[in-house]
Amino acid sequence: MSDQAAQQGIRGRAGVVLAIVCSAQLILAVDITIILVADVQIKHALGFSEASLSWIVTAYALTFGGLLLLAGRLCDSFGHRRMFLVGMALFGIASACAALSADPLELVLARAAQGVAASMVSPAALALLGDEFTHGPRRSRAFGFWAASGSAGGVIGYTVGGELVGYLGWRWAFIINLPITAAGILAGRRYLPARAASGTRRRLPVLGAASVTIGLGLLIYALGEGQSAGWVSATTLALIAGAGLCIAVFTIHEARSPDPLIALAVIRRRESAASVAAALQAATISAAVYLGSLYLQQVLGDSPQRVGIDTLPVPLGVAAGAYAVTRLLRQGRGGGYQGTALVVGGFGLVAAALAWIGAEARAESYATVLLPGWAVLGFGLAVSQVPLAALATSNASEEVRGAVAGVYSMGQQVGTAIGLTAFSVLAAAYAHGPALADRLHGLQVATLGTSALALAAAVLAGLTLPRDAVAGARPAQADGAAGN
């Protein structure tokens, strides 16, 4: 076989791998936002109270974000392909259990199980992407598709979810996962690279994983409790203190453990700043889209189906931005300093779009304010996220790539959970009454807050992201030695 034919064959199989990974990323993102469309039906069907309804989302976010570090570690120990397949199977089983739930407890437990499965799939998928696309423009283009699928998936949960739930009922929000996970497992068994695991069977850091998961869970729960019970109530203060104690235990344990949950080689990498930027990006975008959906429903009076249609500018902007930036990266003009410049520029576009929406949104301003603002928001998100995801895993050896992916994905999920809660609290605090003008004022203030966070993320990215790391570089062998 000629070199050209061999290269074409690799491209063909690599395309299937990319499709599998992007489909998994898409479904994980969809499963977060589709519930926000179905929650009213679920509340009436299963008898949730107002206080307990939020656990449909919280249970998923807690286990997803809290277990990502441990899942990244397991990916490196037991193999990326194996973790991906097991996680997809568990996600399908948990989705079936959620669809068959007959009471609130069953659904919350099923959602928690979905989060566990998602914590396995997400770092494994990102690591598999790094396994298949190790360097060059093809790597940059692959990460562009991966970033676009995750970004668009969150909004597709609103669009497709609104139609699906509106016509077929809330259980279809979970039933739709079954054929997708089954296809992912069958295709994954055949096409995903079955590379050898690290071969090292180290003791699992149970204390570290438990302390960070419980700590993050208490912190997120405290944010929600503070809104209802008060920020200086005994319950809220106890939750915050418990979260701080757990995080302190995790920090001390990691510093003293000879085999920590996060290897020092992962923390000390200059590229780890991308995970912090990813957390800020997720907090900004998730809150902005959520606040926008509240604007559509509470101010404009949109139905769930109409919300899905009106949020289309975001995924369309993401698609346009991903296409533009991947073409730039494919031409070899996105690595190093320019890769960091793209991240900063993307954050700047997001900040500008949100500032425009927050300052100009009125009771009748969708076409003139929200529509163009959301299109720019989606474009800026893709411009920043594509090189950001590539930078996060650049120069990481195969031995630590799963842990690096786990830290990056954890930053996204924790940022999403905290961002949604924090800016929802901010919107409620500045909505001083039930009148339309009061609700609009609260949404405007919170949206301006997301703009300020995006601007802060742009400054942080410009100061901390490496300027000489090429997104498509081959993993450095020294990293593997340092991580073991």
Give 4's pLDDT tier (boundaries 50, 70, 90). very low
At residue 101, the pLDDT reads 94
Instruction: List, in sequence order, every beta strand (DSSP E) within 251-355.
Output: none
**Residue 9 confidence (pLDDT) above 60:** no
**Residue 333 confidence (pLDDT) above 60:** no
Name the DSSP class of 302.
-
At residue 1, the pLDDT reads 39
216 in Cβ contact with 66 (< 8 Å):
yes
Cα dihedral angle (208, 211, 217, 223), rounded to 10 degrees? -120
| Percent of the chain predicted with pLDDT > 90 | 19
DSSP string, 165-223: HHHH-TTHHHHTHHHHHHHHHHHHHHHS---------PPP-HHHHHHHHHHHHHHHHHH
**What tens digit of pLDDT does each residue of 349-398 get?**
999 999 999 988 776 778 888 889 999 999 999 888 878 877 776 766 66
Give 457's pLDDT tier (boundaries 50, 70, 90). very high
- The average confidence (pLDDT) of the chain is 79
**Main-chain dihedrals φ then ψ at residue 366, nearest 5 degrees:** -65, -55
Q: What mean pLDDT is predicted for residues 440-464?
A: 91
Of 284, 290, 295, give the one whose Cα is nearest residue 355.
284
CA angle, corner 59, sides to 82 and 354, nearest 5?
100
Amino acid at 43: K
Place of tokens 């790539």: 401
Q: How many residues are listed for the chain in this entry?
A: 484
Distance CA 412, CA 60 (A): 14
Of 124, 413, 448, give the one whose Cα is nearest residue 279.
413
**What tens digit of pLDDT does each residue of 233-261 get?**
888 889 999 999 998 988 888 778 777 77
At residue 452, the pLDDT reads 95
323-333 burial, b for 16+ CB within 10 Å, e for fewer? eebbebbbeee
Asked which of 153-162, 185-194, 240-249, 312-321 is least confident by mean pLDDT, the reply is 153-162
pTM of the model: 0.75
Give 480's pLDDT tier (boundaries 50, 70, 90). very low
Of 126, 154, 128, 152, give the one whose Cα is nearest residue 390.
126
Please state, as a whole number, how many other Cβ atoms lie within 10 Å of the Cβ of residue 256.
8
Give 87's pLDDT tier (boundaries 50, 70, 90). very high
Asked which of 86-90, 147-151, 252-256 is least confident by mean pLDDT, the reply is 147-151
Give 336's pLDDT tier (boundaries 50, 70, 90). very low
At residue 350, the pLDDT reads 95
Give 200's pLDDT tier (boundaries 50, 70, 90). low
Distance CA 339, CA 115 (A): 32
**What tens digit of pLDDT does each residue of 396-435 get?**
666 666 667 777 877 887 787 788 778 877 887 787 766 7
Asked which of 87-96, 101-110, 413-422, 436-445 is least confident by mean pLDDT, the reply is 413-422
Of 14, 7, 34, 18, give the one whose Cα is nearest residue 289.
34
Q: Which uninterrupted H or E stretch holds 101?
A: none
Answer with the residue of higher pLDDT: 274 or 347: 347
**What tens digit of pLDDT does each residue of 13-70 get?**
778 888 888 888 888 888 877 887 777 688 789 987 655 666 787 788 778 877 877 8
**Residue 470 confidence (pLDDT) above 50:** no
Give 85's pLDDT tier (boundaries 50, 70, 90). very high
Distance CA 250, CA 215 (A): 9
**What tens digit of pLDDT does each residue of 116-141 get?**
999 899 888 878 887 777 766 777 67
Structure tokens belonging to residue 383: 């411009």
Q: What mean pLDDT is predicted for residues 105-109?
A: 92
219-236 burial, b for 16+ CB within 10 Å, e for fewer? bbbbbbbbbeeeeeeeeb
